[in-house]
Structure 1
């Protein structure tokens, strides 16, 4: 177990947020995205096999590079590299910017794939809460989970899988076959973290209703995992998230998650964001405790 590495990584992300202000330092996920774009441009075919080659080749590259870095047996160095796999502070600031922005439609368009031009303020707020809950799993809990279990290699193999899904894992004419392996692998990789995230949301909001019912609503989502943390935060805040949503000019009849009010305000977004300090305290305490007992 790599508790000390994960602890250092989380502390670094807490203060420096993926070093986003250091212009000459290119984020590792950008390299992963660049490879996916290059492969797609050169080798795209509308079949599952070609998508499998993309996934396999990328994971082999990421494994090889990160394994080489693990040969440097220094916990501070490992923690520094692992911090790039966590997006806790950046996620928080990005969602907070939506409700503080003078152009909230543009701000939310940077975070979601749904159509934003005709969004009402309530829909913007709803999208902000949904993306925050879902990305608590993808950007915080999941990379930490694989980091604790498998160190640097595990963290970046997960991030590669998640990046693949976000770029080619769509169920549309172009990617239905090409992105199928990536999408299914992402479902598998996020199965445990998504459930941990939903339980954490219920626990940290002290919501019995969320604890007992997040799976009831979450399983309605077309994704095996995404609906669980969204349902947990909806139930914890007495909101009704989800519902009909426009994607690429077409209305998608998504189910509702939760059983509260449908008119979502900026105050609701602030309440959702309030979980960050609780998550920070919980994770830092948990990692510190296990780091001490692992020595």
Structure 2
């Protein structure tokens, strides 16, 4: 079975089953295990001096271990590959978490704040309805790239070793890749390696979103706005999603009690948005997923 065919099966399996609670309430999810390992490394090695060197060494060890584990698991056959890839690709889970924000927001703003706090790292206590909706849609766009397209892309390129390498790096970035006094140096390697691994997937995600909504003629505008983003990669799917939904995203927001004056993406579009726009974003997630699946099907036909 070709790698593309294995990946198609994994995508379908994830779309059907998602992350069943009955299973992960009894077993440790691989992403949780990765997080526990990274947390231990942070506590054990992020002390004293030479944090930059220690952080690089830790990432080399984590990445090397992930590749070796992937090589070992890959010898067990394509069924194991399908199951593991499905577990580590989070399309259905992403849609469910984003849709939960829309459902909560329809009840009241307080419920919406509680729901969106589950998927974003910014301050949510004083968010109004448009801010909640923007946060949910931005999370949808960024996690479509980080949680679906990027792991699938690297599996397509290098099988389980590349997939596990990506996931351990992305998890490390989400835990220690921050410019804080504690992680400025120790998390540098995780953040930079994550940037490299997401370079192509982020732009591929933006391209597929644009393709799904007939926006290829606006590619230059999407690229221009993406380059204004604080992240070298997250701005690409976000800028494409903003134009696909005809909404303004990003803009000022608060982190740790301090307001940050980020520019709006697609600034001239609608800023008064709500639950219906979040629902539109979830439909965009599935449309992009379908386009990606069609591309994989074409690759499978030629035996990639």
TM-score (norm 1): 0.95
Are the aligned partners of 2:207 and 2:216 in contact in 1 as well (CA < 8 Å)? no
Residue in 1 that maps onto 2:150 = 142
What SS does the aligned partner of 1:18 have? coil
Residue among 261, 275, 279 paired with 2:284: 275
Q: Give me the whole-angstrom Cα distance separating, in 1, the residues matched to 2:124 and 2:191.
A: 24
- On the 8 A contact 1:18/1:86 being kept in 2, the answer is no
Post-superposition offset of 1:210 = 4.2
Corresponding residue of 2:75: 71
Deviation string 1:27-80 (CA, Å, 9 cap, x unpaired) is 1111110001111112213621121122112112212222111111x2222111
Q: Does 1:59 align with 2:63?
A: yes
Structure 1 residues 202-281: aligned runs within 5 Å: 202-208=210-216, 210-258=218-266, 259-281=268-290
Deviates more, 1:191-200 or 1:173-182: 173-182
Question: SS of the counterpart of 1:114?
Answer: coil
Per the TM alignment, residue 244 of structure 1 is displaced from its structure 2 partner at its CA by 1.1
Q: Which residue of 1 aligns with 2:127?
A: 119
- Bigger drift between 189-198 and 61-70 goes to 61-70
- Residue 16 of structure 1: how far off its partner (Å): 0.9
Question: What is the aligned counterpart of 2:195 among 187, 195, 203?
Answer: 187
Asked if residue 289 in structure 1 is aligned to residue 293 in structure 2, the reply is: no
Q: Structure 1 stretches (4+) deviating beyond 4 angstroms?
A: none
Counterpart of 2:92? 89
Unaligned runs of 5+ in 1: none
CA distance in 2, matches of 1:68, 1:277: 33
| C-alpha RMSD of the superposition | 1.6
Q: Deviations over 1:72-124 (max 9, x none)?
A: 1x222211111122010100000000010251111111101100111111100
For 2:13, the equivalent position in structure 1 comes to 12
